[in-house]
Structure 1
Amino acid sequence: MNNADSAAQSVRTMYAERFATDLTDNRAEQQELSSQIERLRARLEQLRADETWLTGMQAALPGETAPPRPRRAPRTGEKPAEGDTSAGTPVPGPRPAGRAKARPSRARTGGKKATAPAAAPLHQLIRALMPLGEPRLVREVHADLTEAHPERGTSVQVVRNTLETLVKRGVVGKGIQKGTAMYTATEPVPSENENAPATD
């Protein structure tokens, strides 16, 4: 009976430690996301204050009138109502017939490629930094991520949480060496053209 009680106590202790670690990681990620939201809100308020100040300064210039506040752009296929031009906004004259068709916007054609690296998911960035078959500590992966992508500002706890998710997906393996968790990439990083259709 003593051996059985001891084994049960050991199992309870193991699960208690695991749940405590997962709970700590969860709360750390919540805190990081909350901080990011607060920073974005503060930045938005600052931009609005700057807009008000700039509008007032522009209106104070001789011969200048305050520009109208930007309105929500109409949805695709939706035509603006007639007579909807804001008062005080100069109406452009008719264009020559040869220039009736507007040029495509540069921002529309190249915007996705410009923002793709910054918007990449965290698990993709972490996987790309892990050499195949080389065990890595969480702190090592975090250091590499901070050096390669300093703008992410991710904590060690969030990196550990992401690695655990990759372990569940089978992309990364996990082992214990001298009581420390080691993570090893088990699959190569997929290339950009891997899913492209083959052409003869």
Structure 2
Amino acid sequence: MNQADTDKAAQSVQRVYAERFATDLADNRAEQKELAAQIERLRSRLERLRTDETWLAGMQSALPGATAPPRPRRAARAARTRAGGGDTAAKAVPSPRTAGRTKPKPAGTSAAGRRAGTAAAAPLHQLIRALMPLGEPRLVREVHAELTKAHPERGTSVQVVRNTLETLVKRGVVGKGLQKGTAMYTATEAAQTDEGRAAG
């Protein structure tokens, strides 16, 4: 091999690594953005809970005869035991909490919860394969984006999705190819058939 061929091969390798690093960097930044969004959602949820707590405490203190916040459950049980069977007191404690929690539940909450529970319990590889159309190549971050959109409760990272896809490649149910040095994953006929069996 002459010097020109050697230089050309070296440039080709450098280009492949440069594209791979660019892809990994994009995945890293996307994951950081996702985690930051999750943290922001948790902060908002915490603020809402604190606001609800203040409102509930105010409503409870406004009830007739309410002079102090209810004691912890363990302390209440111990007091009833010492009193020798205070069933009336036991029933009186939950009443303020029940009155403060009469917010109507949105329609379909139970069904949505069941669907979320089913998705949370399903194997990750099954969810990923179900989101990959047969014969259409997908980047790791594309699969991750679709998974996050369809199943936000899973909270899966790009690296976990990549590892799962590599496992599916080893099993022969997902194909892998390189396009300009970037890994592309494609659902094969075997993956589609296997999904059909899982659905049945």
TM-score bin (small chain)? 0.5 to 0.7
Higher helix share: 2
Superimposed CA distance per residue, residues 144-183 of structure 1 (whole angstroms, 9 cap, x where no aligned partner): 6587x275699xx95xx66643442114212357998653
Q: Distance in 2 between matches of 1:10 and 1:177?
A: 14
Q: Distance in 1 between matches of 2:14 and 2:4?
A: 15
Which secondary structure state, in structure 2, belongs to the residue aligned with residue 62 of structure 1? Answer: coil
**Which residue of 2 is the match for residue 92 of structure 1?**
87
**Which residue of 1 is the match for residue 7 of structure 2?**
5
Gapped regions of structure 1 (runs ≥ 5): 74-79, 95-111, 194-200
Instruction: Summarize the Cα distance change of 1:37–1:84 in structure 2 as closer, same or farther, 3 Å threshold.
Output: farther
Do the aligned residues in 1 keep the contact of 2:176 with 2:183 (CA within 8 Å)?
yes
Q: Distance in 1 between matches of 2:137 and 2:174?
A: 11
**Which residue of 2 is the match for residue 83 of structure 1?**
78
Instruction: Summarize the Cα distance change of 1:143–1:20 in structure 2 as closer, same or farther, 3 Å threshold.
Output: closer
Equivalent of 1:44 in 30, 43, 46: 46
Instruction: Summarize the Cα distance change of 1:13–1:174 in structure 2 as closer, same or farther, 3 Å threshold.
Output: same
Superimposed CA distance per residue, residues 107-139 of structure 1 (whole angstroms, 9 cap, x where no aligned partner): xxxxx96642352566542311234x4224459
Q: Distance in 2 between matches of 1:27 and 1:36?
A: 14
1:168 aligns with 2:169: no
Q: Which residues in structure 2 correspond to 1:1-200 (within 5 Å)?
A: 1-65=3-67, 67-68=69-70, 83=78, 91-93=86-88, 115-119=116-120, 120=122, 123-131=125-133, 133-138=134-139, 149=150, 158=158, 164-169=162-167, 170=169, 171-175=173-177, 182-186=184-188, 187=191, 188-189=194-195, 191=198
Do the aligned residues in 2 keep the contact of 1:135 with 1:185 (CA within 8 Å)?
yes
Instruction: Summarize the Cα distance change of 1:42–1:174 in structure 2 as closer, same or farther, 3 Å threshold.
Output: same
Instruction: Summarize the Cα distance change of 1:177–1:184 in structure 2 as closer, same or farther, 3 Å threshold.
Output: same
Q: TM-score, normalised by structure 2?
A: 0.56
Q: Distance in 2 between matches of 1:83 and 1:4?
A: 83
Q: TM-score, normalised by structure 1?
A: 0.56
Gapped regions of structure 2 (runs ≥ 5): 90-112
AA matched with 2:19: E
Q: Across the two proteins, how many residue pairs are aligned to each other?
A: 160
